[in-house]
Each structure stands twice: as C-alpha cells, then as structure tokens.
A and B are shown apart, each in its own frame.
Chain A
C-alpha cells in the first residue's frame, strides 16, 4: 500500500468542511510555516523536497519560486492554475471538490513563501460547483483567521480570490491565464519576459498547478527531506493520476512515483486491469498531449526493462519509444479501440482550442483534423500519413506557446507507432468504417536488440 499524502483523509465524511479538516490535522502546516519558518526557509524546504510541477512540464517548483524577481515596492502574485482542461486529466477537480481546504492551506503556505499579499485561484469556467466549494472554503478559512490581515499574529496579510475562467483550454497556459485574469482575451504572451519577472499586471508572478500547491502542505508538515525520500531519483513524492479509459476501476489515484506501470494498470490497489477481460492495446500516459504508446512499449522500455511511473521512467527512450508524465492523465485503450479515431478526436480538440494567434497552430491544427477526419471516414490516401507527420513537424516548436507541440505530438506518435493501422484505413477503407483494426501486434513482446 503506497503512502497517501494528499488523499489520506479523502474518505473522511465532511472533510470538505473546515472543522473536520482541522480535526484531521489540517492547517498545521500553515501554523508551522508562519510561526516557525521564514519565507526563505519555506522555499528552501520545497527545494529540498524536489517537488516538480504537477501541471505537465515537470519543472522543479522550488527552483521556479527562487527565480521570482523581488523588486522593492512592487507587489508579487501567486496564481493557482486550476484551469484543468487536458482531455484525460481530472485530478485537480477531484482535489478541489473533495478536499478544498488542502488547496487553500497550500495557497497560504506558498503565498507566504513568495511574499504575495494577494493570490488568485483561476478555475476553469465549466467547474462552477468547484468554484462555489472553494469560495465556501475560503470563507471558512477566513472566519477561522487563516486569511485576511495579520494571520495567526505573524503580521502576514493574505487575500485569496477565486476567478472563474471562460472555459478555454488555452487559458491553462500560464501567460494566457494571466491575460485572461487581467480581463483580456486569453492569448499566450510572447516570452521573454517570463511571468517571474513580469506576470500579472506586469508584476512578478508565480503560476503553479493545484496539485503542486497542495503538495506543499505535506512538504512543510513532514519536511522537505522526508518528502524527497518518497519516489525514485529526481521524481520525488506522490502524484495524482487520473486513470480513465477501458479500466476496471478508473478514477483518481495517488501513487508513489516509481511504481511499475504494469502494477498501476493491473493491481487491484489501482486500476484493477482492463475492463471486460479485454487486452490492453495502447496508453496515453500523461493527458492527451503526450505521445501515445502501444501496450508493449508502455509496459516495458525499448531496452526490455519494466517501465515505471515517474518523470524519467515514462520519458525513457525519448520520443522514439517513450512518452511523458505530463499532467498524469492516464488513458488506457483496449483492443476494440481505434487509434485513428482517437487521434482524430484529440486533434479535433486542439483545432477547437487553438487561440488563433500564431499561424502554424491556427492553420495546422485544422488541417490535421481534416486529414484525420478523411482517414477515419474511409477517404484517406496513402500519402496522408507522411503529410500529417510533415504538418506536425512544421507546427512543433514553431509556435508561441506549447499548444502547438501538444497538438503535434499525439499525431506524430500515433503514426510512428500505429502506422499499419493508419494504412489499413486506406487499403481497407470499406472495412475500416465498419470495424476496428483490433489488437494486431501492438502487445507482442518487444524484440530487444542485444548489445
């Protein structure tokens, strides 16, 4: 049984209320931080913990905090990115719904560490219930003296606000989020300057994911070194994984980083295997934007070793045979799923969500979607696969924000690993619209090249 740091008390009835949360040791970390530590010591603890950003990029949180510019007389802001909209990722929503005080507590600690007097939680517009839950939690925390002026007599003031977004995926990109928070159109900014120098209203700003901020609570409670003992290598601590797809027990799981992928899929503690006794065909391991892998490559690396759930473990082999941890949206596909249809579906999403600011992404996502639509509906050509790879290459890395990469990777990887399924959609177009390709060889043991 893995350790639970975030979801330890998730099943306690009434944990979403202040009283129950407090009785389970809640807000102890705030007391510890404000009463016994200086802001710099809090940053140091987070650095020691090795916590890496849980929103997708995996950048060390402590390092990000230490980059924050601290000019005199200029306010600093902490913004919590709760605009979780990646297809396949729903961990932040779960956290905010069931244990909102964990986020509030994390926000107080993080704001204290950064010296922010005003902090925002930017919540995706569709999550109206969660916005209400958070506002209620903030009111409770304020009534208990954990927000407002002179918190716990430490002389530190903090106001926390919840801001609903308009429901755009692009507003999960940190600079687009800041634009949206300022009341403008959610277009990503051109970097540099980075938000740590000029963010919200031109002031130094840190933008962190919900889970990263929540993770500061156990880090301060137990100490950074203790937190760093969990996990494997540079992937420390626990991570929430949103498991979905053809699994027996889909849901949000807290894992200790470093458990084998096989254990995560098949053990009863986690997903409990593939639903209806089917076989696993493919996995998208970190939310829709990361490369898709066939069953044989997700369970074992190209070198034949068991793949583990960690930042390094999942990216083992680079993009040729690996994928990414991303935001932890683990989507499993069984043998009845069509990869072409799925790729088209993802691309449809990115086409819909592209902000339209820079040309490769604006035009390229629509183009890829049209080609994939044609392939899926039996009108494809053999040259379409090369065209798709080429278009995805023209988008990747040439855009203002990572949405271009996020749109390009699933397409490029699906063709890289499932090319014969794509080709079958062209050669057997009439059959392809009536049935799926099936498992084929995608779960066959890998041929490991011996040295």
Chain B
C-alpha cells in the first residue's frame, strides 16, 4: 500500500505517513524544501523554522480542496493524490524569502569569524532563498557567550532556536540539562548552571546545530573548514551506544576536529560519543577509510584536493589511492 504524491509536477509513490519533505527528498533535486529545524533522526523536531513551507494545491484524491494556508512540509503527511507546489509557487517563494529575512534580522552575520562558516545551513539558506539586503535597521539582540559544557561553547547570538539540540539532549543523552529560557525574541538556549552539560553524548548538539551557535571548544578558531580535509575513519569504541564511525578533519597531518558523518542534508548518520569526538585526535587512534566525498557545491571541496598530497597513512591503502586519483582527475577537469 503506497500513496501517490505530486510535488512540483513530479510524482512519486511513498509509504503512507511519509511527510511531504521526506517525499520530496526521495525525489531529490531542486524541489526539496530547505529545512533548518527538522531533523529526521530526532522525533518531534520540525515545524518551527517555517522555511520548508509549501503550498498544497490539492489535498487528496478524496478531498481535492487545497489547504487554506501554506503548510510546514516537514510535519504534514502526504495523502493519496496530494499535489504540492514548492518552487513552482510564487507564494511559497515569497513566504520563504520572508522567513529567511526574519531568521537573519537578529543573526549577527559574523560569518568571517564563525567556525561554522562553510558548512552553515543558514549561509546556504540565505544564499539560495534570501534577499541581498536587509530592511532591518535596528540593533540586534545580543547575549553573552557561555560555556554550556566544558567542551561546548554557546554563542546565543547566532542561534535560530531550531530546538534540535534540545531534542538531541532529550533523545540521545540520558538527561537533558539545557533548554529554552524566556520567550519571544529573547528566548535563549541555556543551562541554569554553567558547564552543566557533561553527558557522554552531549557533543552531538554541536553536530545538529544548523548554525554556529554551538561550537566545539577543541576546534574553535583553529582553522577555516575549507582549509581542512575530511577523511572517513572509525575506531573500536567501547561505548555501547557509539560505533565509532566518524569524519576526521585534517590540517596537514594533524587531526584538528572529529565529527559524526553527515549525509547530503547535513544530518548525522550516526551519533558519536564524546570520547571519539573530543579526546581521540591522533591519527593512530583511528582506522582510516578514505577521503570523504564532498559535494562540488561545497566550499570545503573548493581549494585543496588538487594540491593535497595523500597522507602517509592513506598511501598504504591501494583502494584509497584509487579514490584520491579519481577525485584529483575530477577536480582538475572542472
């Protein structure tokens, strides 16, 4: 039993109960609505940022009436025969532009000094869907930077209140000790007691953060992400919930950062423990699998693969040498 949904004229059969966003992700390409707060691995996430708004021009085969308002595609399930307009609807484009503008009015736009720059979802969103200029002429709201854990720093100024880190702490760690305080545009992610976040899996909040609000203190200001080289690796982690599959970010021969592996939508494939993330920063701690495939559109792939000499550890593996060569050829051809 599957249901048929048409998004921007492209039809696909999906399981009942699938959301519009996930149906669009199955189709892929331009018609996938952007999502800043939805995270497929976190139950209950989504619906908050409103960037994924789409127009439902036909409710279903049974009830063909269009939905009166734009709906959040990440939280609306498909019905059989539903027709959805995303990039084909001027109304959606306009609303999305408005949402991007709203998300940016209190964002400091400090990309030049932000560690997230280059892998920031808000940057991508602003670039793809936003306006070139802001119409906001007032002071932005500001907060003090705080350390919410000994390895995690929170820049609340940059936060877009997607609640992903809250869901992560709820669902991945044993106990949540941070949350949202206050309300309206003074709502902030915080802990009552500083450095209170010390769970084994707390580092994952850094990976799920779509912006540079939660940063890894072991990596802060160490390097721009596009000067590093991501390499896939794993280790035999003794934490029962962590399988040790990570991406190592090399600068020269040093591992300067460890993150979970992320898919095309920037979502981590599997959550990793804090030991893997913060403490294992030597190549000898890891079994190297090979360079990570990075999208050509990403700034991370922009300027290093051509000149990068394969690392000594990588060299011994013929498979990897092959992969590197392939990458090299593709890059130079472009």
A residues apposed to B, CB below 8 Å? 168, 170, 185, 190, 351-360, 362-367, 370, 387, 391, 393-395, 397-400
Contact = CB atoms under 8 A, between A and B. Distances in A.
Contacts, number: 92
B47 A364 contact: no
A387 B136 CA distance: 10
B184 interface: yes
A322 to B, nearest CB: 18
Contacts of B141: 366
A351 B183 CA distance: 10
A354 B99 CA distance: 16
B89 to A, nearest CB: 13
Nearest to B103: A359
The residue among A358, A370, A393, A397 with the most chain B CB atoms within 10 A of its own CB is A358
Interface stretch (B2-10, B20-28, B69-77, B250-258): B69-77
The residue among B51, B69, B183 with the most chain A CB atoms within 10 A of its own CB is B183
B133 to A, nearest CB: 13
Given A190-B47, A359-B49, A398-B70, A366 B99 contact: no
A358 B160 CA distance: 9
Interface string B178-194: 01101111110000000
B50 interface: yes
B106 interface: yes
B50 A356 contact: no
A367 B141 CA distance: 11
A401 to B, nearest CB: 11
A367 B103 CA distance: 12
7 contacts: A190-B46, A356-B185, A358-B47, A363-B102, A363-B105, A393-B98, A398-B50
Contacts of A170: 183
A14 to B, nearest CB: 41
Interface in B44-73: 46-51, 53, 69-70, 72
A353 B183 CA distance: 7
A386 to B, nearest CB: 10
Given A362-B187, A398-B69, A400-B48, 17 more contacts: A190-B47, A190-B72, A354-B183, A355-B187, A356-B161, A356-B185, A356-B187, A358-B47, A360-B99, A362-B184, A366-B184, A367-B102, A387-B135, A393-B98, A395-B98, A397-B70, A400-B47
B98 A394 contact: yes
A356 B161 CA distance: 8
A348 to B, nearest CB: 11
B296 to A, nearest CB: 30
A354 B106 CA distance: 15
A190 B43 CA distance: 13
B114 interface: no
Contact of A353 (B98, B163, B184): B184
B103 A363 contact: yes
Interface string B75-108: 1000000000000000000010011011101100
A363 B103 CA distance: 7
A170 B182 CA distance: 13
B99 A351 contact: no
B82 to A, nearest CB: 14
A394 B161 contact: no
The residue among A185, A366, A397 with the most chain B CB atoms within 10 A of its own CB is A366
A359 B99 contact: yes
A363 B106 contact: yes
A394 B101 contact: yes
Contacts of A398: 50, 53, 69-70, 95, 98-99
B99 A394 contact: yes
B34 to A, nearest CB: 13
A355 B99 contact: no
A384 to B, nearest CB: 10
Contact of A397 (B46, B69, B163, B182): B69
Contacts of A393: 98
A352 B53 CA distance: 25
B185 A366 contact: yes
Contacts of B138: 367, 370
The 10 closest A-B pairs by CB, nearest first: A394-B98, A356-B187, A363-B102, A190-B47, A354-B184, A366-B185, A397-B69, A370-B138, A356-B184, A356-B183
Contacts of A185: 179-180
A444 to B, nearest CB: 34
Contacts of B69: 397-398
A168 B47 CA distance: 22
A96 B102 CA distance: 40
B159 to A, nearest CB: 11
Contacts of B75: 190
B48 A357 contact: yes
Contacts of A397: 69-70
Given A359-B49, A359-B50, A367-B136, A352 B102 contact: no
Interface in B288-314: none
Contact of B183 (A355, A360, A391): A355
Contacts of A357: 48, 161, 163, 187
A362 B184 CA distance: 5
B187 A358 contact: no
A55 B323 CA distance: 65
A360 B135 contact: no
Contacts of B160: 359
Contact of A399 (B50, B106, B183, B186): B50
A370 B136 CA distance: 10
The residue among A168, A352, A359, A399 with the most chain B CB atoms within 10 A of its own CB is A359
B185 A354 contact: yes
Contacts of B53: 398
Contacts of A366: 106, 141, 184-185
